[in-house]
Each structure stands twice: as structure tokens, then as C-alpha cells.
Amino acid sequence: MRLNELSSRLSQWFCSESPLSDIVISSRIRLARNLAGHKFISRCDDREKQEILQTLKDAILSLDLLGDIFFVDIAGGSGLERDLLIERQLISRNLAAGKGPRGVVIATNELFAAQINEEDHLRLAVFAAGLNLDKCWQRINDIDDAIGRKIEYAFSPKLGFLTACPTNLGSGIRVSVMVHLPGLKMTDQLKKLFEAAKDMNLAIRGLFGEGTEAVGDFFQISNQVTLGISEEKTVEDFMTLIIPKIVEYERLARDRLMVKDANILDDKISRALALLKSARLISSHEAMFLLSNLRMGVNMGRIKEISIDTINELFLLTQPAHLQINKGQNLDPEQRDILRAETLRAKLN
Amino acid sequence: MQCNICKTRTATVHLTEIIDGQRTESHLCQSCAQKEGITIKSQLSLNELLGSLIAAHQQPDEQGRGEAEKSCPVCGMTMEIFRKQALLGCPKDYEIFERNLQVIIEKAHDGNLTHKGKIPGGISTSTNSVESQTASSSDTTKDKKEIKTENEMDSTHSASSGQAGSPRVKELEKQLEQAVRNEDYELAAKLRDQLKAMQ
Ligand SMILES: [Zn+2]
Ligand SMILES: [Zn+2]
């Protein structure tokens, strides 16, 4: 089965050889689209949702520019499968928790996903490792054009692409960049970053954590304004202004730590490695936190014997659904903590 | 603050509802909020809250008031349902509730009201609408990144009038937005009343 193949390997967008990859983990662009002549999801009965699902699925599966793709029925799948796709960021919690006919078309290389009947009829997403939004935009623009020639989108010349929530109206574009900011965290500068982001109409949310709290200093930075700004301008702002600035601040913070607090830094990193190498029970929260510190240590050259790819791989493999699918059975939290610790020891020792 | 329902856990979800000018607040913990069917989407709830605050202080014009009575013939959507779920029911709703939505759209998109960007199927499919669209959108194109200096802020003060969309109203709306973001509902209510008085 396809999902099993996914669970044992690293996502391509999570690879280390990419622009600014010590700080910028991945880039993603999402487009929100709806079919003309149908109600939005919240007012659809199951029959209409089924119709929409079929129309969009047929249109996307018949495209020849997508390479190897497959469809996952989310309404019919198991909870564990849905969790796996959430952990790999291929579907949203919203789609997993939804009701009625819905699904996702995924590229085998995991660089493309089309969620059907999420908040909007169609949520296209393209991913890339590192800071690579230009490439993402080119790709998703082509895919969107191709789909737009097969079906009719709900569109108004004045308001642009019409979406279920007015906050996505217009271009329907959401540009998101995942960054690792342990330096800003350790030097107590995250609050400043959040303030600046608010002024620039950006949203920042923690990743891998529950709710808004970030575990392990990973953050996703996204645009919020989708009306009155072209897609190119939004992408350009991220590529030339927003992300380079954040990267610069994070590097400065790291440099300062090396000069002023090298002992504290090395202590944090060494403790993280020691715990990960020897723990017998470890929660996913603690694992994320320690892996984050370890990742910083490797990127700052304080630890030489472990590769970033190994750490990235462990971020995925130690998450609950990944552990269970790779083990081939359901596990309770304590069994998961044991298996997580085993997985970490095996990879790091 | 304690949760209004279970009275044990800490309230982390704060709801302000304004019905007929009466403000009611409820404070719930995460799990009671979930039981009540309140889903927490941070972006959405902020916009929702703003929407309801702004809708409450704005004396709607005739068209706006007319819209509030309507329901969409396609999907049955009303402004009341929209305020609750923050999701529209069909593309037609954007026409039917145009006036009411305009305020919310402007808030969510940094004052912009006109689409700029691609059209379905790529540029090649309909040259006409591309031309008309770029013509109309270039009028409203503004550089939103500029930061006002204190002096400029002052000059907008003196030029203020009570008209909707005037600099003074805009500034109060900005403060209102900030107050909501900071969850300072007392200040938000005060600002809302000030805005109301200006109309
Ligand atoms: Zn409670
Ligand atoms: Zn409708």
C-alpha cells in the first residue's frame, strides 16, 4: 500500500541540500479554489460533496503534468492514515476532521497535494525544500491553469477567486515558509519578531506543537492578505524581503550566542544528544524539543558526527502515526514512548 | 479566569457577542468550548470578532440594512449565520451581502477591495477581462508597506471628520482592531461607542 511506503522515508521537501536550509526548512504555496455552480462546503449535502469530489478528482487525475499521483479517500480511510498524512503535512487537521465525501490527490514524490472538500472545494499545494518559492509558484500556477481549463472556477473580475471565507478571497494564495529559529528563542527575541510580523500582515504559528505553542522552535510564516496583491508580488516579498531578514536575524543571534554564551549553548546541545542517545521512554513533545536543539548544534558546527538528514528523518519517524504505521499496529502512549526511544537510540548510536 | 461552564479549568476561549447592541461575554476552557461546538481557528475567530464588532458600530446604510434581512436564494445563507460560522454558503453570497461583507473584506485585506493577480485558466483564455481587470485594479494599488510618522498621524487627526472612511474613523478602527487583538474588550467597547457616536 502506498501510505506504508510513505511512512518509512523522508519527505523530499525535508531534505538538507537546499537554499538556506540550515534555517529555512521548506516552502509551500497553497491556492484556494471553488467550482462555479456549486454551494460552498458548509452548505453542501453529501450528494453535492460527492459530485464536487468526483469532478475535481477526475480533472486532476487526468492531468499529464503531475507525474506519478494517487488518490486517498479521507472519508473512508482509517484515523491512523489520516494522522500520517497530517504529520507529513499533506492534509490539514480540518480535512481529517471534516464530514462527508472528501479526499486528497498526492504526488508520489510528496511535492504536490490537492485537498478536495476541505474548507474550499479545492486546496492545491506545492512544496519545496529550503527557500524555493519561485519554483513553487511556477509549478502551482501551471497546475492551476491546467485545472482551470478543465473546470470552471468561481471567479469574479472584481473580487477574484471566490472562497468560502472572505479572508482567502482574491488570489487565494497562501505562501508559507517553515523556519527553525532556536537562536532567536534563546536570545529572547521572538516577541520582537512576532510584533514585526503583525505589522507586515504576516501570520506566524508554531509547528509540531499542539495549538499555537511551538515545540522545538519551528515556525511557519504565512501571508494573510490575498486581495489586491498579485501572487508574484506576494512571492517576491517573501523571497527578497521577509525571509532574508528573518534569516539574517537568526544568524546574528546564533553568532552572538557563540561569542557570548558558548558554554550554555554547548551544554544545551550536548544534553540533548545525551538524552536522545540513552532515553528509554520519551514523549513526542520531549523528542521534538531535544531534536530541535540537536539540529541547531549540527547546523552551527558544534556536532559533527550526525547529519541534518538523520535529524530531519527522526522528526517524522518519531511522530505517533509514523511509529504505529511502521510498526504495523496500534500502540498506546506508553508503548509509543518506548518505541520512540528505541528508534532514536538506533539512529543516533 | 475560570471557565463559565465547568467552573474548574482556566478559561482560554473568550467570546464576545453583540446582539441588538447588548454585549454578552462568555469565557470557556478549551474542552468546554469544543463541547459547545466552538472550533478555534485563531485567524478566523479574530476576523469573526472584528466582523461582529465592526458590524455593531456601523450604522448600516439602507442597502446594508436591506441585506441583513435577506437570505440567499441559492444556499439560504443569512448574515446571522455568517457571523456565527465565518464561512459563506455560495459564490452568490458575495453579491447578496456585498455591503456587509465589504467592511470585513477591507479589514482582512489591509484596505484592499479589488482583485489583482491571475484569472482562471491563465491569461490567454480571456484577454478582455484581463484588460478591464488590470485597469480597475491599478487605480486602487497602493503601497501598504509605508509607515506613518508621528507628524503625518497628527495631520490626519486635524483633517478628521465624522464621515465613514475618514482618517479619524480609520484610526479609531485601527485602535479597535488592536484592542481586539490584545483581548482588551473594555477598550474595544469604548472605541466602538466612540465610532458609533461619530455617525
Ligand atoms: Zn470548562
Ligand atoms: Zn448563497
Distance in Å, CA A282 to ligand 1 centroid? 30
Predicted pLDDT at A12: 67
Report the pLDDT averaged over residues B58-87: 83
CATH code of the domain covering residue A267: 1.20.120
Supply the range of the domain harboring residue A109.
Answer: 3-253
Looking at residue B56, its pLDDT comes to 52
Among candidate residues A232, A253, A274, the one where a domain is terminated: A253
Q: Tell me, what's the ipTM? A: 0.88
Q: Are strands A155-156 and A160-161 parallel, antiparallel or unpaired?
A: antiparallel
Model pLDDT for residues A75-132, shown as the tens digit of each residue: 998 899 999 999 889 999 999 999 999 999 999 999 999 999 999 999 999 999 889 9
Whether the predicted pLDDT of A1 surpasses 50: no
Average pLDDT over residues A160-172: 97
State whether A145 and A128 are in the same domain: yes
The C-alpha torsion from B133 through B138 and B143 to B148, rounded to 10°, is -120
Other CB atoms within 10 A of residue A259 CB: 8
Q: Do residue A318 and residue A225 come from a single domain? A: no
The answer to whether residue B122 scores a pLDDT higher than 90 is no
Query: Residue A148's domain is classified under what CATH number?
Result: 3.30.590.10
Q: Does residue B79 sit at the A interface (CB-CB below 8 Å)?
A: no
Same domain, A19 and A164: yes
Residues 166-225 of A with CB under 8 A from B: 166-167, 169-171, 173, 198-201, 203, 205, 211-212, 224-225
Q: What is the pLDDT of residue A214?
A: 59
Kindly state whether residues A207 and A343 are assigned to the same domain. Answer: no
Alpha-carbon gap: B27 to the closest alpha carbon of chain A (Å): 18
A294 lies in the same domain as A208: no
The residue from A206, A224, A253 where one domain ends is A253
Question: Which of B44, B90, B98 has the highest number of chain A CBs within 10 A, making it the mutation to test binding with A?
Answer: B90
Residue A245 identity:
K
Evaluate if residue B41 carries a pLDDT over 70: no
Closest Cβ–Cβ partner in A145, A231, A232 for B121: A145
Instruction: Among A119, A224, A230, select the one facing B117 at the smallest CB separation.
Output: A230
Whether residues A204 and A287 fall in one domain: no
What's residue A59's pLDDT?
97
In this prediction, residue B176 carries a pLDDT of 76
Q: Domain end: A253, A284, A306, which one?
A: A253
Same domain, A277 and A241: no
CA of B59 relative to ligand 2 center, distance in Å: 24
Q: pLDDT digit string (tens) for A236-276? A: 999 999 999 999 999 999 999 999 999 999 999 999 999 99
- Give which of B75, B80, B61 is closest to B18, Cα–Cα: B80
Residue B171: its pLDDT value, please?
Answer: 77
The residue that leads in pLDDT, B100 or B28, is B100
Per-residue pLDDT at A216: 74
Q: Which of A163-177, B95-109, B165-179 has the lowest mean pLDDT?
A: B165-179
Lowest mean pLDDT among A8-12, A79-83, B122-126, B175-179: B122-126
Looking at the predicted structure, is the pLDDT value of residue A42 above 80? yes
Predicted local distance difference test score (pLDDT) of residue B53: 53
* B141-174: pLDDT as tens digits: 333 333 232 333 333 333 333 454 567 777 777 7
Q: Which of residues A284 and B145 earns the better pLDDT score?
A: A284
Task: Answer yes or no: do B118 and A231 touch at CB < 8 A.
Answer: yes
Q: Are residues A99 and A190 in the same domain?
A: yes
**CA distance readout (Å), A112 to A30, A83, B84, B119:** 10, 18, 33, 21
Chain B segment 20-59 residues within 8 A of A by beta carbon are: 40, 42-44, 47
Q: What is the pLDDT of residues A325-347, one digit of tens each?
A: 999 999 999 999 999 999 999 99
Residue carrying C-alpha cell 504576516? A202
Contact criterion met (CB < 8 Å) for B117 and A225 = no
Interface of B with A in 136-175 (CB under 8 A): 136-137, 140-141, 144-145, 147
- Same structural domain, A167 and A280: no
| Residue A8: predicted pLDDT | 72
pLDDT score, position A165: 95
**Distance of residue B132 Cα from the nearest chain A Cα, in angstroms:** 8
Distance of alpha carbon B28 from alpha carbon B8, whole angstroms: 10
Give residue B194's pLDDT: 76
pLDDT score at B29 = 79
Residue of B nearest to A119 (CA): B87
DSSP code at position B11? P
One domain, residues A249 and A268: no
Question: Looking at the structure, do residues A170 and A231 belong to the same domain, yes or no?
Answer: yes
Domain count for chain A, please give it. 2
d(CA B102, CA B55): 11
| Stretch A9-21: mean pLDDT | 69
- Prediction pTM value: 0.75
CB-based contacts of B133-141 (< 8 A; 24+ apart in sequence):
B133/A157, B136/A157, B136/A158, B137/A228, B139/B114, B140/A228, B140/B112, B140/B113, B140/B114, B141/A228, B141/B116
What percent helix, strand, coil does chain B show, rounded to 5?
55, 10, 40
Specify whether A247 is located in the same domain as A266: no
Give residue B54's pLDDT.
53
pLDDT category at B17 given cuts 50, 70, 90 is low
How much is the CA Rg of chain B, to the nearest whole Å? 20
pLDDT bucket at B131, cuts 50 / 70 / 90: very low
**d(C-alpha A86, C-alpha A95), whole Å:** 9
In what helix (H) or strand (E) does residue B57 lie, and over which residues does it extend? helix B42-57
Residue B40 has pLDDT above 60, yes or no: no
Q: In angstroms, rounded to a whole number, what is the distance separating the alpha carbons of residues B169 and B61? A: 16
